[in-house]
């Protein structure tokens, strides 16, 4: 029997005190049904693979059976949303069920869509199936691309009507995260001038996530960790073509993991100005602005830690952000191009490649993937198919061949390495859309299963799935619009 009772919970966050959260129970959904349990996430928790009956798990998630040791609570936080400060947000529809010890560390189990909390304001506390499927897929997709992210444990649907632009149905998922403390958690207490609470929260994060280097000030180490991890995560988003969509400070994890998936998107055609969130009319969170927004958000975080760290140290630490981001990005992109060692000319080679892709409206993922077919021994390469009619291409190919001549690896070894760095399968909007259509209209979850299988091994060939899952987005999908509604 699959049950969460076998987990060993230590609920440290609840012991911080009432200021930080409110105890809330799960509000069950009507006629719930199980959609997915993720074996990879069970393993993270040290739980055996799914047993023959999942009824018990379904009832635990839906709140009709207790989870032994869990102490559900809604966390309070604030945040800068699209640049403006919101003084009190908090988990309006999510609950931290508890912190559970897995074989390799502790995981927060967070139930999203669990019903109203003291922070729901005028909203219903629910999450619809559409957005739950999107978050569920995204956490797995990113982490299997090697990008720090929350994970997905299980998902349930229901027949409960939930009103958005149209009537939809309510769903819930359990996500795993190494922490649910956000930049906005610190902002909440800082702006109330409750510096004692800022310190309590900082100590809580430091105890679990910061390896101390600076005996004088563990808080500097905390900020340094947040800056480094955020820079690395965002650099990796840029390298795989991921746009988060709503980079408000309440959606920024203090440890830099990708967090709170809403209207995110992966690039199809290469377009640095890509705005995935239909509601983001100014493009504040466009793809190319993410690195700058990361720094903006870290500034906001730093300000909320200013009772613990002096201004000169904050400035010094923040100045590390850009070099870390640039270096991580350069390193990722060099590997995507199949280059083992750094050379001066690599930056130019890359920027010309991106420039050509933009001009040819080339598919970002598939163009990089086809570098894995490029052979120095052959005169024709499938890569050129992405750049038909582009007069810069021949020159670029000549430069690339010259650059490869400085590499030690032979064609075969390089091609193999390129395919381990450039995914064949990404979570394209139209694929998520198809999985959502089948699930919502037919209660058919087979597309979710297939997509997860591909996204959990995105570098493998999976020949049988090439045509339906690895090709560039079809024309109809250009009109898909994804808003904040969830
Ligand atoms: P999000 O845009 O999902 O990051 O949400 C921003 C804030 O609004 C968070 O505090 C959420 O908990 C809250 N929120 C979003 N949707 C709902 C809802 N349907 N019911 C209650 N609170 C919500
Ligand atoms: Mg959020």
Per-residue pLDDT of the chain (486 residues; tens, 9 = 90+): 899 999 999 999 999 999 999 999 999 999 999 999 999 999 999 999 877 679 999 999 999 999 999 999 999 999 999 999 999 999 999 999 999 999 999 999 999 999 999 999 999 999 999 999 999 999 999 999 999 999 999 999 999 999 999 999 999 999 999 999 999 999 999 999 999 999 999 999 999 999 998 878 999 999 999 999 999 999 999 999 999 999 999 999 999 999 999 999 999 999 999 999 999 999 999 999 999 999 999 999 999 999 999 999 999 999 999 999 999 999 999 999 999 999 999 999 999 999 999 999 999 999 999 999 999 999 989 999 999 999 999 999 999 999 999 999 999 999 999 999 999 999 999 999 999 999 999 999 999 999 999 999 999 999 999 999 999 999 999 889 898 899
- Residue with the smallest CA separation from ligand 1 atom 11 is 92
- Residue with the smallest CA separation from ligand 1 atom 15 is 92
Residue 168 near ligand 1, beta carbon < 6 Å? no
Q: Is residue 113 left, alpha or beta, with left meaning phi > 0 and alpha meaning psi from -120 to 50? A: left
Kindly give the number of the ligand 1 atom that is closest to the alpha carbon of 484: 2
pLDDT for 226 equals 98
Going from N- to C-terminal start, the domains of the chain cover 8-177, 183-331, 339-419
Q: Return d(Cα 57, Cα 34) in angstroms, integer.
A: 9
Residue 209 near ligand 1, beta carbon < 6 Å? no
Residue 112 near ligand 1, beta carbon < 6 Å? no
Residue among 93, 125, 183, 184 whose CB has most ligand 1 atoms within 8 A, to mutate: 93
Kindly give the number of the ligand 1 atom that is closest to the alpha carbon of 126: 19
- Which tokens belong to 192? 């109330």
Cβ(349)–Cβ(403) below 8 Å? yes
Q: What is the 250 CA–ligand 2 centroid distance (Å)? A: 6
Ligand in closest contact with the CA of 75: 1
Residue 93 near ligand 1, beta carbon < 6 Å? yes
Q: What is the 264 CA–ligand 1 centroid distance (Å)? A: 16
Q: Return d(Cα 339, Cα 352) in angstroms, integer.
A: 16
Q: What is the 436 CA–ligand 1 centroid distance (Å)? A: 21
Kindly give the number of the ligand 1 atom that is closest to the alpha carbon of 262: 3
Q: What is the 239 CA–ligand 1 centroid distance (Å)? A: 29
Note residues around ion ligand 2 (Cβ under 5 angstroms): 251, 260
Residue 75 sits at φ, ψ, to 5 deg, of -85, 145
- Residue with the smallest CA separation from ligand 1 atom 23 is 92
Residue 260 near ligand 1, beta carbon < 6 Å? yes
Q: What is the 470 CA–ligand 1 centroid distance (Å)? A: 33
Instruction: Report yes or no on whether pTM surpasses 0.95.
Output: yes
Ligand in closest contact with the CA of 94: 1
- Residue with the smallest CA separation from ligand 1 atom 7 is 89
Q: Establish whether 449 is a catalytic residue.
A: no
Burial pattern 221-250, b for ≥16 Cβ within 10 A else e, equals: bbbbbbbbbbbbbbbbbbbbbbbbbbbbbb
Q: What is the 413 CA–ligand 2 centroid distance (Å)? A: 43
Q: Return d(Cα 207, Cα 243) in angstroms, integer.
A: 31
Catalytic residue among 91, 108, 221, 250: 250
Report the half-sphere exposure of 273 (CA within 13 A, side-chain side). 5
Query: Torsion angle, CA of 80/86/91/93, rounded to 10 degrees?
Result: -100
Q: What is the 467 CA–ligand 1 centroid distance (Å)? A: 37
Residue 265 near ligand 1, beta carbon < 6 Å? no
């Amino acid at each position: 029997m699959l049950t969460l009772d076998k987990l060993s919970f230590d609920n440290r966050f609840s012991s911080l005190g009432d200021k930080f959260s409110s105890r809330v129970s799960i509000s069950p959904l009507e006629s719930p049904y199980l959609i997915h349990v993720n074996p990879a996430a069970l393993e993270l928790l040290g739980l055996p693979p799914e047993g023959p009956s999942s009824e018990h798990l379904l009832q635990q998630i839906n709140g009709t059976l207790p989870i032994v040791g869990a102490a559900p609570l809604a966390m309070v936080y604030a945040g800068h949303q699209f640049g403006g400060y919101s003084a009190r947000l908090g988990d309006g529809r999510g609950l931290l069920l508890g912190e559970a010890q897995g074989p390799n560390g502790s995981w927060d189990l967070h139930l999203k869509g669990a019903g109203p909390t003291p922070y729901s304001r005028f909203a219903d506390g629910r999450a619809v199936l559409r957005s739950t499927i999107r978050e569920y897929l995204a956490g797995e997709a990113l982490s299997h691309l090697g990008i720090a992210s929350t994970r997905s444990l299980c998902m349930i649907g229901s027949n409960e009507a939930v009103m958005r632009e149209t009537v939809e149905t309510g769903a819930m998922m359990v996500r795993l995260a190494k922490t649910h403390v956000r930049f906005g958690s610190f902002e909440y207490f800082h702006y109330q001038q409750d510096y004692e609470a800022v310190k309590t929260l900082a100590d809580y994060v430091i105890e679990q996530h910061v390896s101390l280097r600076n005996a004088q000030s563990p808080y500097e180490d905390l900020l340094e960790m947040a800056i480094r991890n955020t820079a690395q995560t965002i650099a990796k988003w840029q390298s795989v073509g991921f746009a988060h969509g709503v980079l408000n400070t309440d959606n920024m994890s203090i440890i830099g993991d990708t967090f709170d998936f809403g209207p995110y998107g992966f690039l199809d055609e290469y377009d640095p100005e890509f705005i995935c969130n239909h509601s983001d009319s100014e493009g504040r969170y466009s793809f190319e602005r993410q690195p700058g927004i990361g720094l903006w958000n870290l500034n906001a975080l730093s300000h909320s830690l200013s009772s613990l760290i002096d201004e000169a140290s904050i400035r010094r630490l923040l100045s590390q952000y850009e070099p870390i981001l640039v270096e991580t990005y350069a390193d990722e992109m060099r590997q995507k191009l199949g280059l083992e060692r750094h050379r001066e000319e690599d930056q130019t080679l890359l920027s010309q490649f991106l420039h050509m892709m933009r001009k040819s409206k080339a598919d970002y993922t598939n163009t990089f993937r086809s570098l894995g077919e490029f052979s120095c021994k052959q005169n024709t390469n499938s890569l050129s198919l992405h750049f038909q009619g582009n007069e810069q291409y021949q020159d670029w190919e000549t430069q690339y061949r010259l650059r490869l001549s400085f590499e030690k690896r032979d064609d075969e070894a390089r091609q193999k390495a390129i395919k381990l760095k450039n995914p064949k399968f990404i979570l394209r909007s139209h694929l998520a859309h198809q999985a959502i259509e089948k699930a919502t209209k037919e209660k058919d979850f087979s597309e979710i299963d297939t997509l997860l299988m591909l996204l959990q091994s995105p570098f493998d060939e999976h020949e049988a799935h090439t045509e339906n899952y690895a090709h560039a987005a079809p024309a109809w999908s250009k009109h898909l619009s994804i808003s904040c509604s969830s």
